[in-house]
Chain A
Amino acid sequence: MFYLISPSKVFNLIEKLINFINSIFFLLLIVALTFALILSPPDYLQGDSVRIMYIHVPSAWIGLGSFTAIALLSILNFTLKIKNLNMISKSLAPIGLLFTCIAIVTGSLWGQPTWGTWWAWDARISSMVVLSIFYILLILTHKFILEDFKANKIFNILAIIGLINVPIIKYSVDWWNTLHQPSSINLLKGSSSIHPSMLLPLILMLLVLLLYCALIFLMKYKTEIIKIKKKNIKRI
């Protein structure tokens, strides 16, 4: 199965996917923004500040999901020793950091009108800061350790250690008294307490941000493939 994701096999497909995403991205972005900023109703308690949710929540999901994917790929890499998995993980890390930072900043901007404070060291926010530190460490590993084998090993170990933080982020609102409300959407049960008029823009914005992630991931993965081919040019 892993033969199918070999760089030579997917290189041509990457270009086609990038072109496809570019062709639909702006149309979907305009539709999603129209729903998020104009058509969706204000919340009965939070008023129009609830619109920040359409950026904040999908960003937090992507930040958390990317780290989970990196950690699972690292576990797979330790057991199966597949080089491609490292390239995928390495390409995912900057995306995860970007969206974790967006979640933290937009959360702060949402916190001021809702809770009356820009920042509070509550369990959810603190664990998200820890997540961003793990992302920074992962990225720095490849920046400062030049030997690939060693860098990959440290990257995988850090990702697996960081996996402990993922359930802490997810369940922090249930385990501790925090300013954050408990989750309104249960992806495992497929249930939601959000009204459909707000759920639709949330899903649309999630889709737009996921497409953006795919675009960045594909460009980064392509760069990684070229880097390796360049190193191997004398051996080809």
Chain B
Amino acid sequence: MINNILFMNGYGAYVWLSFAFTFLACAVVYYKTYKTLKKYEKDFAKELVKLSGSKRRLILEKSKVASQVFASYKNSI
């Protein structure tokens, strides 16, 4: 049974290589996309931290995106 799944009557190398390549490529793209998202979230939150208190409050009140990114950044530190 396990031999059949592994060797697939001589086609195992082609089949497993296809699946391995696909999952490796997908994993690399996922990792890169996730890293980039986190980097931009962090940079955006840092920009907000740099602002004066009143200006930051105004931005967080006006922009839902800013308030959510800032909240998740505060939770992560």
Query: Which chain A residues have a beta carbon within 8 Å of chain B's beta carbons?
Result: 7-8, 11-12, 15, 33, 37-38, 42, 47-49, 51-52, 55-56, 59, 94, 98, 101-102, 105-106, 109-110, 112-113, 212, 215-216, 219-220, 222-223, 225-227, 229-230, 233, 236
Count of interface residues, chain B, beta-carbon cutoff 8 Å: 37
| Minimum CB–CB distance for A105 against chain B, Å | 6
A236 to B44, CA, bound (A): 13
Question: Are B15 and A102 in contact (CB-based, < 8 A)?
Answer: no
Question: Are B15 and A229 in contact (CB-based, < 8 A)?
Answer: no
B interface, over-half SS? helix
A38 to B69, CA, bound (A): 44
Instruction: Give the residues in chain A near B21, CB-CB below 8 Å.
Output: 102, 105-106, 109
Residue of B26, B62, B68 touching A15 (CB-CB under 8 A): B68
Question: Are B65 and A225 in contact (CB-based, < 8 A)?
Answer: yes
Instruction: Give the residues in chain A near B41, CB-CB below 8 Å.
Output: 226
A56 to B9, CA, bound (A): 20
Which of B22, B30, B51 has the most chain A CB within a 10 Å cutoff? B22
Query: Which chain B residues have a beta carbon within 8 Å of chain A's beta carbons?
Result: 5, 8-12, 14-15, 17-19, 21-22, 25-26, 29-30, 33-34, 36-37, 40-41, 43-44, 47-48, 51, 58-59, 62-66, 68-69
A52 to B14, CA, bound (A): 8
Closest residue to B16 on the A side, CB-wise? A37
Closest residue to A97 on the B side, CB-wise? B29
Question: Are B9 and A229 in contact (CB-based, < 8 A)?
Answer: no
Instruction: Give the residues in chain A near B25, CB-CB below 8 Å.
Output: 98, 101-102
